[in-house]
Amino acid sequence: SQKIEQNSEALNIQEGKTATLTCNYTNYSPAYLQWYRQDPGRGPVFLLLIRENEKEKRKERLKVTFDTTLKQSLFHITASQPADSATYLCASHSGGGADGLTFGKGTHLIIQP
Amino acid sequence: EAQVTQNPRYLITVTGKKLTVTCSQNMNHEYMSWYRQDPGLGLRQIYYSMNVEVTDKGDVPEGYKVSRKEKRNFPLILESPSPNQTSLYFCASSLSWAGKLPNYGYTFGSGTRLTVV
C-alpha cells in the first residue's frame, strides 16, 4: 500500500542553524507533496506544495525539494528560531480508490535557544 | 477572515449518546473532509465530500456519518459513540479534491477534542 514516512524521532536544532526534515514515500509516485505545520492541540497549517516536476520551492525561510529518484522530499528551515518549534507533516494524495490526503506521522522539531 | 470553524472545541459524552460536531467554512470551497488524530497513528481520514450532496468514505468511516446539504457546512455525526472514538477531530476544506490538479492545500479547523466515557 502507498505510504508516506517521516522520522518520528524529535529533531533538536540550535537556533540560527538550518533544520532539515525528511519525507519518504513508497509504493506510488505522488504528483505533489504538501507540507504542514502543527502546534500541540491545534489544526495543521498549510505551508508549501511542490509538484513532481518541480525540483525546489521556496517561501521566505522555508525550502522544499522533491527528488523522484530517491522518492523523497526534504523540508528546510533556514536561520531557525525557537518559534519554529512544532510538528511538521508531509502529505500527498492517497493514490487509492478514495480521495483525500494521506499524512505522514510528522517530525517534532525543537529549536533550542 | 478565511477560516474553518468547528464546534464544540471540547466534548465529553457517554457511550451511546448521539452527538454532532459541526464544521463550517467561509471560503466557498468545494471539498471538505473529516480527520481524526490519535497518538502513534497520525491523521486518518474519516469521510470527505467533493461537493453538495456528494460524500464518500475515507480510511476509517465505521461509526460515523456525515452530510453535505449546503456548501459551507459538513457536520460529523456519531450515532452511538463508543470509547474507541475518543480522539482529536479535525475538519478541513480545500478549493479542490486531493486527486485533482492543480492542487491546493487544505485549511483545517482548530479541532474538537472528544472524550467518550
Question: What pLDDT is stored for residue B75 in this prediction?
Answer: 98
Question: What pLDDT is stored for residue A95 in this prediction?
Answer: 66
Closest alpha carbon within chain B to A106: B42
Question: What pLDDT is stored for residue A1 in this prediction?
Answer: 73
- What is the rounded average pLDDT of the residues B94-117? 89
Which residues in chain B touch residue A41, judged by CB atoms under 8 angstroms apart?
A: 88, 111, 113
Query: Cβ B45–A41 below 8 Å, yes or no?
Result: no
The model's confidence at residue B117, banded by pLDDT at 50, 70 and 90, is very high
For A6-44, the pLDDT digits (tens) are 987 899 999 999 999 999 998 888 889 999 999 999 999
Short-list B74, B80, B82, B81, CA closest to B35: B74
Question: What pLDDT is stored for residue A14 in this prediction?
Answer: 97
For B5-34, the pLDDT digits (tens) are 999 999 999 999 999 999 999 999 999 999
Torsion of CA B98, B89, B2, A84, to 10 degrees: -90
Question: What pLDDT is stored for residue A96 in this prediction?
Answer: 66
The model's confidence at residue B38, banded by pLDDT at 50, 70 and 90, is very high
* Whether the predicted pLDDT of A97 surpasses 70: no
- The more confidently predicted of residues B101 and B22 is B22
Give dist(CA A94, CA A111) in Å, integer. 31
* Whether the predicted pLDDT of B100 surpasses 80: no
DSSP secondary-structure letter at B106? -
Query: Cβ B42–A46 below 8 Å, yes or no?
Result: no
